[in-house]
Amino acid sequence: MGEDCNLHEQACAAVLAPGVAVTLDISPKPVRAMTDLEFTVSLSDRNGPVDGAQVALDLSMPGMFMGENRSILSGLGNGLYQGKGVIPKCPSGKTLWRGDLQVQVGDVTGNVWFLFSVK
Amino acid sequence: MTLNEPLFLAAVSGGLLGGFGHCIGMCGPIVSAVSLKSSREGTAAGMASVAFYNVGRVLTYSALGAAMGAAGSFVNVTGRLAHIQNMALYVSGAVMVLMGLDIAGLLRLSGRLEIQGRWITRLAGRWGHPRTALAFLPLGLWLGLLPCGLSYTFMIAAAGTADALRGGLVMFLFGLGTVPAMTSAGALALLVGTSLRNRLYRMGGVLVVLSGLYLIARGILFHANL
């Protein structure tokens, strides 16, 4: 998606589908590898917060197969979804990760991705 | 608990895919050094060494998975292991440098890497030229601790099971999945080492030395980030 946003400082927003906005936030900040992380997603459309969606975050490293690292996010209400996970450290020194957010609302499935470096 | 659970299938397939796509890059030089080191006793001894190295590595993975599952936390266990894993990088690098020098004919180790405990010796009697090969079992056990992003991912999954048995099984299956790639790397080194022994065998040793130095450098980098 290529949005210029720094997950170390703020939540990052994207358009999941026409009229459907999504933001991803990772805490604690700065985002570090090998620590317990909390992923928070907010989902909204023209009518306000969207609940009842199935949300998952797949973490991968561009150009390096790292296996499936998926966090399933649970709905908190008011369009918020939260899950926990860990980003492993690559001993090669590479720090760039990609988070693919998979969202399913009813029959509609959307996918957006975020690129970020870990400390 | 059945072996066809998605998590277990993901572990073995992840090991299989990652073995060829990821592990060969990092551990290929190690397993190549293992097979080359033993190849003076023949191809069978070289492959036996690779097999024992793999057994040791998979056993360590399984133990780590069981620990992750029992603790239910990847971060807590790896936090305690970080310095040991860092040491594993140094040790593996140093071992590779020594084996590379031996392969290149610049140093005679003559079995100094062997572990000659009684149980090894007894077991050795049941095999053809086992002692050199068996020496790589403890090496595999130790080098299974090498820090690796791919194995971390499956350790995270093992921790997520919150169960020692299931966690151990996840890592066992992951390790099992990586065996074909690691065995292929060892076999390839043997093939090249045998066919080109007269001219390039020593060069292979030099490459192993360089790979060992690279691992030590990675250990320094890993240490800096602890």
Distance CA B20, CA B28 (A): 10
- The residue extents of the domains of chain A are 12-88+95-112
- The residue extents of the domains of chain B are 6-83+114-198
Instruction: Report the residue from A64, A67, A93 with minimal CB separation from B154.
Output: A67
Report chain A residues touching chain B, CB-CB < 8 A: 34-36, 61, 64-69, 85-86, 88-93
Distance CA A71, CA A18 (A): 25
Q: How far is B76 from chain A (nearest CA, A)?
A: 9
pLDDT per position as a tens digit, A80-117: 999 999 999 887 788 899 999 999 988 888 999 999 99
pLDDT per position as a tens digit, B14-51: 999 888 877 787 778 788 878 877 777 778 888 888 99
What's the CATH code, domain A12-88+95-112? 2.60.40.1930
Q: Per the CB < 8 Å rule, is B150 touching A34?
A: no
Q: Which two tokens stand for residue B214?
A: 């690279």
Q: How far is CA B129 from CA B44, B59, B121, B188, in A?
A: 9, 23, 11, 21
Question: Which residues in A lie closer than 8 A to residue B225 (C-beta atoms)?
Answer: 89
pLDDT per position as a tens digit, A15-62: 988 888 999 999 999 999 999 999 999 999 999 999 999 999 999 999
Q: Per the CB < 8 Å rule, is A65 touching B78?
A: no
The answer to whether B154 contacts chain A (CB < 8 Å) is: yes
Ranked by mean pLDDT, which of A1-5, B72-76, B104-108 comes out on top? B72-76
Query: Of B77, B72, B54, B69, which Cα lies nearest the Cα of B168?
Result: B69
